[in-house]
Structure 1
Amino acid sequence: MKVAFLMAPEGVEQIELTEPWQAVIDAGGTPKLISTRSGKIQAFHHLDKGDTFPVDQTVADSDVEDFDGLVLPGGVANPDFLRMDPKAVAFVKGFVEAGKPVAAICHAPWTLVEADVLRGRTVTSWPSLRTDIRNAGATWVDEEVNVCDAGPAKLITSRKPDDLKAFCTTFIQEFGA
């Protein structure tokens, strides 16, 4: 199982990267850090700088066909930056169109909104995204983890870092590990 983790050069919530990353490794999979720029990404602990992580490849040099699934970690700034990058948005949309599972936590569904892949779906997120998700044509629910298979690809979503255990267990199962 090869899993893409897409994030902007800065703004990802560190625990929403590291725990799912470790879950992929623990399941015998290979995680790959994909970003809009090469080098390193800067993670955050809410608003404080956390660690940096090396980028494995840029989104411009990545192909959906090389991966079995996509994880979108949150953080407020991370998905907002990704929404502004057409290649990142196309990468996300490509997973859904290819029928490959996508897991998104906290603020990460903002990128799904921008990719226009939520119409007719049911998802959860950080509560402040509720209106954006509804405006994108989806049903928003307040659940620890939600799995929606009402489209070409399964969407696994969670609300916040407190949901990480359920999020990781569920997306690993849904990714087929």
Structure 2
Amino acid sequence: MSGGGRPLMEQHDQEVTMSQAQSGKRVAILATHGFEESELSAPRAALRSQGVEVHVVSPDGKGIRAWAETDWGDTYEADKALSDVDSTDYHALVLPGGLFNPDELRLNDQALDFVRGFFEAGKPVAAICHAPWILINAGVVEGRRMTSVASVAEDLKNAGAEWVDEKVVVDNGLVTSRTPKDLDAFNDKLIEELAEGRHSGQHA
């Protein structure tokens, strides 16, 4: 029995250690109307399961309506408005995708300044699906190894990123994934990078 139980004990110990590493951590999820629902709800749930405090930040601090694969979904309450937060308030940033959400945020100068602050401080940033559009406009993708939904690949390459077709890519605190099918891997790497803290290779 001990031979079969040991790996489970080791796994439990790793989970406890990881959870302890997240104690006191705070993460922002920046989104607006038209975010892909699972790309906000799943990372938020994964982070909360580790004891991480998570704030949904929207441009005006009001509720934002999700896009659920093929149609509009539920409205999610925001915890903070962009004007009330700063990158120094958080240990990491999550950027959900969806077609409408990142297209709007990449034209919002306040949102781009917020995003740049995480890169300048070497903090983890996780972006999935179309969300790398925001990073392109923030000017932080040149020389970075990344992935995204296929339709954003050429945009990333043109902005100087190395694009690869993998379910999750980690480059010095920058976590990227392609679609909601990759969320399990995306969430696991987000939690790992958050536990590791600042990354010297993460820069604007």
Given the two structures, how large is their TM-score scaled by the length of structure 2?
Answer: 0.83
Match 1:50 to one of 66, 73, 82: 73
Residue pairs, 1:1-20, within 5 angstroms? 1-8=25-32, 10-20=33-43
Partner of 2:8: none
Match 2:96 to one of 50, 73, 94: 73
Q: Which moved more, 1:58-67 or 1:14-23?
A: 58-67
Deviation of 1:46 (Å): 2.4
Partner of 2:169: 146
Name the aligned partner's letter for residue 155 of structure 2: D
**Separation in structure 2 between the aligned mates of residue 46 and residue 122 of structure 1, nearest angstrom:** 27
Say which structure is richer in helix: 2
Match 1:90 to one of 110, 113, 120: 113
Given the two structures, how large is their TM-score scaled by the length of structure 1?
Answer: 0.95
Deviation of 1:37 (Å): 1.3
Match 2:48 to one of 25, 49, 67: 25
**Separation in structure 1 between the aligned mates of residue 62 and residue 176 of structure 2, nearest angstrom:** 28
* Residues 35/160 of structure 1: CA separation in 2 closer, same or farther (3 Å cut): same
Verify the 8 A CA contact 2:62 2:81 in the aligned structure 1: no
Deviation of 1:143 (Å): 0.3
RMSD: 0.9
Say which structure is richer in strand: 1
Name the aligned partner's letter for residue 2 of structure 1: R
The percent identity for this pair of structures is 47
Q: Structure 1 residue 40 and structure 2 residue 63: aligned?
A: yes
Which of structures 1 and 2 has the larger relative contact order (alpha carbons within 8 angstroms, sep 6+)? 1
User: What's the secondary structure of 1:176's corresponding residue?
Assistant: helix
Name the aligned partner's letter for residue 186 of structure 2: F
Name the aligned partner's letter for residue 68 of structure 2: H
Where structure 1 has 5 or more consecutive residues not aligned to the other structure, the ranges are: none
Where structure 2 has 5 or more consecutive residues not aligned to the other structure, the ranges are: 1-24, 197-204
Structure 1 runs (4+) deviating above 6 angstroms are none
Q: Who wins on radius of gyration, i.e. which is larger?
A: 2
